[in-house]
Amino acid sequence: MRPFLLIPKLHVHNANALSGSYIIGFPAMTAWLGFVHALQRKLQADGFPEIDLCKVAVSCHDCNVQVYKGVYDYRYSIIGTSNPLKKKGKEFERPPFIEEPRCHLVVSLLIELNNLAVENDNMFLGAVREILPQLKVAGGDIEKISTLQILYVDEDEPQTIAHAVRRLMPGYVIIDRSDLLKEPLPEGKDTLDQLLDVLSVRFTPKEHTGADAIPQWSPQKQQPGWLIPLAVGFKDISGPMRVRHQRSYDYEHHFAESVVTICEFKMPFHFRDLEEIMWNYQTIPQLGLYLCKNSNQWNTKQH
């Protein structure tokens, strides 16, 4: 039996919606695994030194990106907050504007647990409930916490898997679809062009008869499904080094850039194996890759 911590219907306010250098929307997968890692460290310091929160599945119930689009606007605009006000003499003035895209979220998290003693279930859940309000989720504040649960899943008993999947409904779990970027690149195109081709929606006019007929437009996508670009890790671009004023001289310093791939939102009932929706860390030091990895029926090969 594999134990899982279920954090259902977690309400997050003002989470960071900038998941990459050119992506605004659902928070990066590094933020979700970072939250799980922070929770693990708090638990280890609070009486559970052996606990290991090794994998997580994220089911999104609602994502409200804080943007505005007027009736005649072509693009969305970020709704800024300009906090806090800057004091100048006896008065206050608006601080310099920095674009900080935010979103409000309702998500359910299914976290796999290692080294949890069965007799400690209630004590463990109590510790998690006390720690959660102290944490940030993708930079956002936790506003509401529903009833936490420990679910025990046996891979030989499909009903236990189905029970865990139902607790993630109604929502959409995020999975890795980097397999869509593994096709041979056409001459003159790079991976970014390939990513844009997969995500783009092209409109073509339908055939119509008559001079006064209004043309009808048909949307077409290269791939079906709810596909999004998402930051899933970092690529080392400098190698280990030391720089002035780095955060800590006890650890190596690396300059890095975000790794962006294609992910897909899918309803949880499509999955009969929880491994297909779970994310964990994967490092490939020889390639300078530090990733969040998910394996499913479409994407079973390593990057």
Asked if residue 160 and residue 147 are part of one domain, the reply reads yes
- Is the separation of the CB atoms in 177 and 264 below 8 Å? yes
Asked if residue 128 and residue 8 are part of one domain, the reply reads yes
Q: What is the mean pLDDT of the chain?
A: 87
Asked if residue 109 and residue 221 are part of one domain, the reply reads no
299 part of a folded domain: no
pLDDT at 234 > cutoff 70: yes
pLDDT of residue 8: 94
Asked if residue 59 and residue 28 are part of one domain, the reply reads yes
Rounded to two decimals, what is the model's pTM?
0.87
Asked if residue 153 and residue 288 are part of one domain, the reply reads no
pLDDT at 51 > cutoff 80: yes
pLDDT of residue 142: 94
pLDDT of residue 301: 52
- Is the separation of the CB atoms in 57 and 168 below 8 Å? yes
Asked if residue 257 and residue 116 are part of one domain, the reply reads no
pLDDT of residue 77: 84
Mean pLDDT of all residues in 179-194 = 82
Would you call 41 helix, strand, or coil by DSSP? helix
- Is the separation of the CB atoms in 19 and 26 below 8 Å? yes
Tell which residue, 177, 222, 226, 176, has the closest CA to residue 201.
Answer: 222
303 part of a folded domain: no
Domain CATH number, residue 24: 3.30.70
Q: What percent of the chain is modeled with pLDDT above 90?
A: 44
pLDDT at 98 > cutoff 80: no
Total domains present in the chain:
2
110 part of a folded domain: yes
Q: Tens digit of pLDDT for each residue in 99-138?
A: 788 999 999 999 999 988 767 788 899 999 999 999 999 9
Asked if residue 183 and residue 134 are part of one domain, the reply reads no
